[in-house]
Structure 1
């Protein structure tokens, strides 16, 4: 049952990673499409595309960070995804450079006056989310350590109970041996009592026969005297 729960947990974590991965690819493609709009679109479209690029980059960064969290939570099983994360990290760095270049260009052209402030806000939000995720990981680790300590205590108690059962079993074996010895002595005493009873009956029979014989002799003498 424990193996089945572990396998189900791994499958669920992989599905979550795949979901974030799909969001990441979709956002990167959207970011590149917006970069093309900034390069060759109309003036109004370029400013809107630049703002949307910043949002798409922030959301793609969030998806990447979530993928990192999921890989860390998988432990050794997440090693197979490390190479893929490195590729995504390089891609994110390239997209970040692209976004900054576009933002700087639009800023110079006066098409994106609020870009630096929005970017700082997005970075603060991202940092806050990272700290929150780190706190959740720390809480999970502390919970796992507490569960491990509880498990060790339970194992220690079970070991003590097993020793107690062994000692109890030894005492029962000793009692059983004493009972066998007592039974043997009782049987011996019973046989002696039966032997004594037989001797008493034999003595009684001999005395009865002797008494009858004496009475018979007395009667014989009395009969002879009367004649």
Structure 2
């Protein structure tokens, strides 16, 4: 059976039941081949027929559960899975049709009691119904356990994803804070550089003014000396 977690997200339960259905359908096909080759006679033949009927009922039950689960699958995944489900329906319908033909050939009703029914047939039928009900209950319980296990695994994966997303969110928030602090540092640095530029410009003007004044004083001294 394939791991349901390897399937599309949201279709794990469907995939698990699909695996059960495929295995059961293969078993039914093998039993039908055995029944159809006329190598089985008498009570063994009737018992095999009743066994096939129980398997068909169980396959139909699984298919009904798959149909319900199909409605809960996301639409983008459902569109890819629906054709597979329809193929399973068609396959089971063909199996039912073949089973009815074999029952007609045995001249018995759908319940599988061939020939004139009597007390022995009634006892066999009640026993087979009890065994069939027990088998279906066990398999249904197994599917429920599998469904619960898959649901728990899916929940654990979802919790892990949420935890990862929360961690990424915190990282993004920390990065945003760092970027905001860096932006503040850059703003302060720009303001400091602008202040330094203004002071440098002021100092340059003062220096030029002093040099100009000194030149004028020197010129004045020279002029006074040669008068």
TM class, shorter-length: 0.5 to 0.7
Which stretch of the first structure deviates more once superposed, 139-148 or 68-77? 68-77
Residues 93, 147 of structure 1: alpha-carbon distance in 2 compared, 3 angstrom cutoff: farther
Q: Which sections of structure 2, spanning at least 5 residues, go unmatched? A: 1-5, 71-84
Q: What residue number does 1:150 align with? A: 156
Of residues 25, 29, 38, the one that matches 2:36 is: 29
Q: What residue number does 1:20 align with? A: 27
Post-superposition shift, 1:188?
1.6
Say whether the 8 Å CA contact 2:31–2:48 is kept in structure 1.
no
Post-superposition shift, 1:142?
0.9
Say whether the 8 Å CA contact 1:58–1:122 is kept in structure 2.
yes
Instruction: Report the secondary structure of 1:96's partner residue.
Output: coil
Q: What residue number does 2:73 align with? A: none
CA distance in 2, matches of 1:127, 1:102: 22
Post-superposition shift, 1:175?
3.1
Residues 126, 11 of structure 1: alpha-carbon distance in 2 compared, 3 angstrom cutoff: closer
Instruction: Indicate the structure whose relative CO is greater, using CA pairs within 8 Å and at least 6 residues apart.
Output: 2
Residues 58, 14 of structure 1: alpha-carbon distance in 2 compared, 3 angstrom cutoff: closer
Q: What residue number does 1:60 align with? A: 52
With the length of structure 2 as denominator, give the TM-score of the two structures.
Answer: 0.54
Instruction: Point out the structure with the larger helix share.
Output: 1
CA distance in 2, matches of 1:104, 1:212: 144
CA distance in 2, matches of 1:119, 1:69: 21
| Alignment length (residue pairs) | 193
Say whether the 8 Å CA contact 1:17–1:67 is kept in structure 2.
yes
Q: Which sections of structure 1, spanning at least 5 residues, go unmatched? A: 35-48, 106-114, 221-227
CA distance in 2, matches of 1:89, 1:133: 25
Post-superposition shift, 1:56?
2.3
With the length of structure 1 as denominator, give the TM-score of the two structures.
Answer: 0.54
The C-alpha deviation readout for 1:63-91, integer Å capped at 9, x for no partner, is 43553365356444268357557655895
User: Radius of gyration: which is bigger?
Assistant: 1
* RMSD after superposition: 4.9
CA distance in 2, matches of 1:28, 1:103: 24
Q: Superposed, which structure 2 residues align to 1:35-184 within 5 Å?
A: 49-61=41-53, 63-65=55-57, 67-68=59-60, 70-72=62-64, 74-75=66-67, 76=70, 77=85, 80-81=89-90, 88=99, 94-98=110-114, 101=117, 104=120, 125-154=131-160, 156-157=162-163, 160-161=166-167, 163-164=169-170, 167-168=173-174, 170-172=176-178, 174-184=180-190
